[in-house]
Amino acid sequence: MKGKEPALIFIDFEFSMPEGRGPKGFFPEIIEVGLISVFERKESNQFSSYVKPRVFKRLSRRCRSFLSITQEDVDQGITLAALVKKLAALNNGGHNKVVTWGNMDMRVLRQNCERARLPFPFSGEFIDLSMEYKRFFGDRNQTGLWKAVQEYGRDGVGNHHKALDDAMTTYHIYQLVEKDKSYLNKVEPTTIGDRVDFTKLQQLVQ
């Protein structure tokens, strides 16, 4: 393990949402997952699935419309327990970095685990790429995922608000930002010789 780069896990979840204020006690539940794991800079695994909501089992009309998802989709999905087991299998003893766009994915996962009395599956480092992007480019406001990739002159992968497509888009932005960071780190600082034209100084002396 020593000396090896940690695995990178790019995750996107889609959540249930209420109609208006929703029923009493409503909280967002994970209803779709998309993830890409990268080990030693090589993509090693993709996973995509719908997830059955445990508590508020019927999706609102707003949720179905916004996410282009059907009740049948989630009814045929995996359980939250199966999802947590799948994620735990990727934990790699905590030798990983979980990368998401925004902090909601891990917050909702943690809340869903707590309510279902399931162990939180990750113990590694968490990276909110939207904040990394904001700091790197000095933006005042947090940028949306697909706006960020378009600012790079690229297009997002697939369809926005489809979990695997958003996870893949997050992965692409991560690669672009890391490439830019690497380039900036390699730029050597200028010397006084770079800033002063000594040929003109020599002409004056002569």
Alpha carbon distance 204, 35 (integer Å): 65
pLDDT at 43: 79
Short-list 133, 66, 67, CA closest to 99: 133
Percent of the chain residues topping a pLDDT of 90? 57
Choosing from 5, 14, 172, 188, the catalytic residue is 14
- Residue range 72-122, pLDDT digits in tens: 999 999 999 999 999 999 998 999 999 999 999 999 999 999 999 999 999
Mean pLDDT in residue range 1-17: 85
Query: Is the entire prediction scored with pTM above 0.85?
Result: no
Q: Which domains does the chain have, with CATH numbers?
A: 7-205 (3.30.420.10)
Provide the 3-class DSSP secondary structure of residue 41.
coil
DSSP letter at 36 equals E
Quick check: is 14 catalytic? yes
- Residue range 188-198, pLDDT digits in tens: 554 444 444 44
- Looking from the CA of 46 toward its CB, the CA atoms found within 13 Å total 9
Written as six digits, the tokens of 23 are: 């029923």
- Residue range 152-205, pLDDT digits in tens: 555 555 456 799 999 998 998 898 888 876 655 554 554 444 444 445 445 544
Quick check: is 132 catalytic? no
Choosing from 114, 161, 172, 188, the catalytic residue is 161
pLDDT at 195: 46
Written as six digits, the tokens of 1 are: 């393990």
